[in-house]
Amino acid sequence: MIEFQAVTKTYPDGTVAVDNLDLTVEDGKITVFVGPSGCGKTTSLRMINRMIDPTGGSILLDGKDIRESDPPLLRRGIGYVIQHAGLFPHRTVLDNVATVPLLTGAGKRQARGKAAELLELVGLPAAFAKRYPAQLSGGQQQRVGVARALAADPPVLLMDEPFSAVDPIVRDDLQQQLLRLQSELDKTIVFVTHDIDEAIKLGDRVAVFRVGGRLAQYDTPSALLAKPADDFVSSFVGRDRGYRALGFLTASGVPVGPLATVKVGEPVSLQGDWAVAVDGENKPLGWVSVESTKDGPLAEADLVSGGSLFEVDSAGSGTAGSLRNALDAALSSPAAVGIAVDAGGAVVGGVTADEVLAALADARRSGEVPT
Ligand code: ADP
Ligand code: MG
């Protein structure tokens, strides 16, 4: 647990970067600091590992004032990831990651073994280990940065806009990866971003800062969207926040209707206009329409492709996709029906865009998201 108690940072030129911050970061959760540029997010983050010392108040880590800890020792338990990864340019990817275990007393072979494991964990193929940072894309460098921060297996991870410099698709990928890693590792993560969507997607709790280093609201993502504390939070969260809620409400509330399926190689007899063609494991291959099929067995050439899939939580596993995924699936499908799949990718049924929007309206009525 990290506790900020009346923490203030006034820089020597008089800038008040952080103003009387009270906030508790829970263990094993992702806490996001979000706000416009210059509102004191980085300053707040760096005070946790003593790269910056407060001018007022105290920060406690697991109940102990961090001023009583020796900074290098403190930092051993706190991983740190920054925007451009901060890798050593003249060391290979593997050695960049192995540096940390080496510093903490591991032998060379052991350190490299550990580094290879971590690179795999963050999704970098082994072939990248011998490259130099400049030979990697921005997204790949960020993965190395995360691997390096995890190398000493610190309980706390500080991440300062780690994904802000990569393009949106890569960013999405890195965000998913972080959520997956966190579900395995249970670190205490403090994540800084200026992007409210990223905050809502990643945060178990989100602290919204305003310029002047003041905390405007500290809440769960759904509470932020449903009950913004004031006009600043409301405008920062955004006017379309009802639709933004699509991204974090799970699709498990959407009624999934039956969907006709047909197998390639078997005769087709369609009841409605469309059916989904599936393989032997009931995984979708494409759509079949009345118009595109002839008599006789269904061939691959008869399939109409298109439409994203969304995952539903059939086994109560809690890993269902979001309402946004469901809406995307419905809107991108040639049949105007989104294909719902289970965790194994098998077809469960279908939903229409109207049903997704009705589920959003229900969530609004029940107060989960704003009207
Ligand atoms: P954020 O990360 O939210 O963009 P920062 O914590 O970097 O904000 O900065 C907060 C405020 O403190 C800004 O007004 C910034 O200009 C100022 N600031 C940051 N570092 C220094 C410094 N070393 N000296 C003086 N002012 C600083
Ligand atoms: Mg910053």
pTM, two decimal places: 0.71
Q: Give nearest CA residue, ligand 1 atom 16.
A: 38
Return the pLDDT at 170. Answer: 82
Return the pLDDT at 370. Answer: 54
Q: Give nearest CA residue, ligand 1 atom 15.
A: 38
Q: Tell me which fold the domain 2-245 belongs to.
A: Rossmann fold (3.40.50)
Return the pLDDT at 67. Answer: 95
Residue type, 258: P
Q: Give nearest CA residue, ligand 1 atom 13.
A: 38
In angstroms, rounded to a whole number, what is the distance separating the alpha carbons of residues 90 and 328? 44
**Domain-by-domain residue ranges, the chain?**
2-245, 261-365
Task: Name the residues around ion ligand 2, CB cutoff 5 A.
Answer: 42
Mean pLDDT, 10 residues at a time, over the chain (371 residues)?
98 96 97 92 96 97 95 91 83 92 85 92 90 90 91 92 82 88 93 91 95 94 87 78 68 80 80 84 86 72 77 57 79 84 88 81 70 49
Helix axes of 108-121 and 93-103: crossing angle, nearest 10 degrees: 120
Give the three-state DSSP class for 86: coil
Q: Which ligand is in closest contact with the Cα of 47?
A: 1
Question: 25 is written with which tokens?
Answer: 């970061």
- 252: number of Cβ within 10 Å: 19
Q: Give nearest CA residue, ligand 1 atom 4.
A: 38
In angstroms, how far is CA 161 from the centroid of its own chain? 13
Q: Which ligand is in closest contact with the Cα of 43?
A: 1
The CATH number of domain 261-365, selected from 3.40.1280.10, 3.20.10.10, 3.10.580.10, 3.40.47.10: 3.10.580.10
Contact 188 CB / ligand 1 (< 6 Å):
no
Sign of CA dihedral 128, 130, 135, 137: positive
CA of 151 to the centre of ligand 2 (A): 24
Which of 11, 21, 214 to mutate for ligand 1's pocket (most ligand atoms within 8 Å of CB)? 11
CA of 154 to the centre of ligand 2 (A): 22
Burial class of residue 105, CB neighbours in 10 A (0-12, 13-18, 19+): exposed
Contact 40 CB / ligand 1 (< 6 Å):
yes
Please name the residues in contact with 209: beta carbons below 8 A apart, sequence gap of 6 or more: 33, 34, 35, 39, 40, 41, 44, 215, 216
Contact 38 CB / ligand 1 (< 6 Å):
yes
CA of 160 to the centre of ligand 2 (A): 7
Q: Which ligand is in closest contact with the Cα of 18?
A: 1
